[in-house]
Amino acid sequence: MVAAEGELGNGAAPGPAFLPAMWSCGGRRRRRVLAGVVVLLLAAVVLRRMNLTDLIPMRLRGRVLGLQVRDSQFLLEEKPFRIFGGSVHYFRVPREYWKDRLMKMKACGLNTLTTYVPWNLHEAARGNFDFSGNLDLQAFLRMAEEVGLWVILRPGPYICSEWDLGGLPSWLLQDPEMQLRTTYKGFTEAVDNYFDHLMPEVVHLQYKYGGPIIAVQVENEYGSYAEDPSYMTYIKMSLLSRKIVELLMTSDNTDGLAAGNVEGALATINFQKLEPGIWTYLSSVQHNMPKMVMEYWTGWFDSWGGPHNVFDAEDMVQTVKSIIKMGASINLYMFHGGTNFGFLNGALHFNEYKPTITSYDYDAVLTESGDYTSKFFKLRHLFSKILGSPLPPPPIILNKASYGAILMQQYISLWEVLPSLVEPTKSEFPLNMENLPINRGNGQAFGYTLYETVIPGGGRLSSEDHVRDRAQVFLNTQYIGLLDYNAQELLIPNGQGYRQLRLLVENCGRVNYGRNLNNQRKGLIGDISLNKTSLRNFKIYSLEMKPSFMESLRGSTPWSAVPDSAVGPAFFRGTLQVQYMPQDTFLKLEGWEKGVVFVNGRNLGRYWKIGPQETLYLPGTWLQEGHNEIIVFEERAAGRIVQSTDLPFLGSIQYVS
């Protein structure tokens, strides 16, 4: 019913309404000519409206009805249908492994792939869209179709997902008034432009046009945010007006369910434990409609400094069984988690700021590196019984390699390399990273920012709670201490003459869930003071450590042998030798404190000795036969070797309760 409204916006030409006026004028001959013109015009309008090239194959395939809601069950083309879904995020898995993971999903007995779409990767710079390589969404969805999976698309624009700012681009925060996830004009204009580019990528992959997409999710867990009562209708209309024609759904956890629903979309629920009364609660929101658990949490994510969360396989399978037994549809979040490569992890900030780790193993059905778990085999057993027909054989396991110790042979300190690699921004006041006048006006999204100023003496340095999220403080090149959410003051020793005060600030990841999304600017977000006087006149160096930066670092600078006393912040370089056929491996950074690993110029992700994660997953697809360059950016205490092993270690286990 809402679709009709949407179509109005796409009308190709004025309709027949003005015809009577034309017929009434002129003589007979003129009428005939006019009639001809009108017939042509009408034909053009009809053809454009029907989009015949799409329509004919669709009708031939009998794809008219799509996924429907009929009382308490789903119908697909009039036949009862149950969604057995699993989540895999293409942006967390190397493209070369997409097929492997999807075939494993099929072999587990699932029939539907669900994926989020990360706006911050597809539009990293305002107006610059990327749907190529590992971001080739169309290729991913086509692959799902080939493997025999339907798709539920979850385009956001907000996706939560333990992903930086819930997938929203950080440049949105350049606007000091920004109100994310509302109908604030600065936000909706950006969403409109994004959807104008995203939807044409997927519209033709909808079921009714012959593709695998059977449903599309409207926003994500909005009931837990619910800052603007008009917002969900706005997002729904944004989808409809861009030719989204399949069934719409919303997805909320139990807290948000009542507030997150929008008319014209099926409400679904997210949980891990089947609490009594949950179905009655869901029914009260969506009445007698099919029950669907959009996110059945198969495991849980980890935060730096915490334990490695594990969810018992038997508990999980028993709950899945109960959900299916009561007639509900289900999506396993995650079927395969993958990795928060680079700086893309999110964070939580309720009482305490807690950044998410690099691994997104999630204790899911497949491991971070795509291996089978007991969850996989238990679920496969369950689904093969339910389906009553044999499942495709599980694809063979990909070998993991242990390439041994990689000796870090070369070194260059950040202080040495900085002046030749980065052009600083000069500013009287500290600027947060998103508002730095770099990247053609898009600011800095991720990584480190160095703030440098000159001080005439020592005293009490106060961060005024403006450090996001951690700052190492240096006097010239001497380390003084750390400022973060807890440590907000440092004593700077007195000394001779003018000295450089340097704050190397790390953005550890923006919050992806909760009410304070608008406060996720990073770097120094306001004044810092010495003896209560605000510091001024900064040189600000942006250190995003993108491939182009790593390229310059590799080529143009004098690396030296690693001195015995080497400390960070510095880059360390070594070589990983691969004899033939690169395989997956895991990098262990024993003896190192905190930093980032780069493999052949690409940012693999963060490590931190506080754990829980102790190894970084390095996909074989990032390696080549022969030499592979490993660069470690270490903030403080450097080790000498990086160990390549064939086993991951994600930390001491804690069972989630």
Ligand X SMILES: *[C@@H]1O[C@H](CO)[C@@H](O)[C@H](O)[C@H]1NC(C)=O
Cβ contact 213:141 at 8 Å: yes
- Report the SS3 class of residue 632: strand
Select 307 or 457, whichever has its Cβ closest to ligand X.
457
Stretch that binds ligand X, among 47-55, 113-121, 206-214, 456-464 (CB under 6 A): 456-464
In whole angstroms, the minimum distance from the beta carbon of 458 to ligand X comes to 6
Residue from 530, 562, 599, 642 that binds ligand X (CB under 6 A)? Answer: 530
| C-alpha angle 45-47-52 in degrees, rounded to nearest 5 | 155
Asked whether position 186 contacts ligand X by CB under 6 A, the answer is: no
494 touches ligand X by CB under 6 A:
yes
For residue 77, give every residue at least 6 positions away whose Cβ sits within 8 Å of its Cβ, in sequence order, or none.
62, 63, 64, 65, 66
Nearer to ligand X, 394 or 458 (CB): 458
Q: Smaller CB distance to ligand X: residue 455 or 562? A: 455
Q: What is the CA radius of gyration of the chain?
A: 28
Using CB under 6 A as the binding rule, whether residue 495 contacts ligand X is answered as no
Q: How far apart (Å, rounded) are the C-alpha atoms in residues 89 and 491? A: 46
CB closer to ligand X, 382 vs 535: 535
Beta-sheet strands, E only, within 20-178? 67-70, 73-76, 79-81, 84-88, 112-116, 150-154
Give min distance, CB of 492 to ligand X, in A.
8
When asked if residue 493 is in the footprint of ligand X (CB under 6 A), the reply is no
Collect all residues with Cβ–Cβ distance below 8 Å to 158 and sequence separation of at least 6: 166, 167, 168, 180, 181, 219, 220, 222
- For ligand X, the closer of residues 151 and 455 by Cβ is 455
CB of 501 to ligand X, least distance (A): 10
Cβ distance 66 to 244 under 8 Å? no
Which residue lies nearer to ligand X by CB, 461 or 517? 461
Single out the residue of 44, 46, 24, 49 nearest to residue 34, CA to CA: 24
Are the C-beta atoms of residues 222 and 182 closer than 8 Å to each other? Answer: no
Quickly tell me which residue has 């350049």 as its tokens. 174
Q: Residues binding ligand X: what is the number (CB under 6 A)?
A: 8
- Which CB, 394 or 459, lies closer to ligand X? 459
Least Å from the CB of residue 530 to ligand X: 5
Contact flag: residue 557 with ligand X (CB under 6 A): no
By CB under 6 A, residue 457 contacts ligand X = yes
Decide if 393 contacts 501 (C-beta within 8 A). Answer: no
**Contact region for ligand X (CB under 6 A) — 159-167, 208-216, 452-460, 604-612?**
452-460
Residue from 186, 307, 424, 459 touching ligand X (CB under 6 A): that is 459
- Judge residue 397's burial from the number of C-beta atoms within 10 Å of its C-beta, 0-12 exposed, 13-18 middle, 19 or more buried: exposed
Which of 165, 535 has the CB closer to ligand X? 535
Residue 540: strand pairing partners: 425, 451
Which residues, numbered 587-646, are part of the site for ligand X (CB under 6 A)?
Answer: none
C-alpha angle with apex 255: 250 to 261, nearest 5 degrees?
25
- Which are the catalytic amino acids? 221, 295
Which stretch in 83-91, 154-162, 248-256, 454-462 sits in contact with ligand X by CB under 6 A? 454-462
Rounded CA separation 300/348 (Å): 13
Which position among 458, 481, 495, 601 is part of the footprint of ligand X (CB under 6 A)?
Answer: 458
Stretch that binds ligand X, among 91-99, 114-122, 195-203, 453-461 (CB under 6 A): 453-461
CB of 537 to ligand X, least distance (A): 14
For the CB of residue 425, give the shortest distance to ligand X in the complex, in Å.
Answer: 24
CA–CA distance, 469 with 242 (Å, rounded to integer):
39
Sole window of 372-380, 455-463, 512-520, 607-615 interacting with ligand X (rule: CB under 6 A): 455-463
Residue of closest CB approach to ligand X: 459
Residue 531 contacts ligand X per CB under 6 A: yes
Binding residues for ligand X, rule: CB under 6 A, are 455-459, 494, 530-531
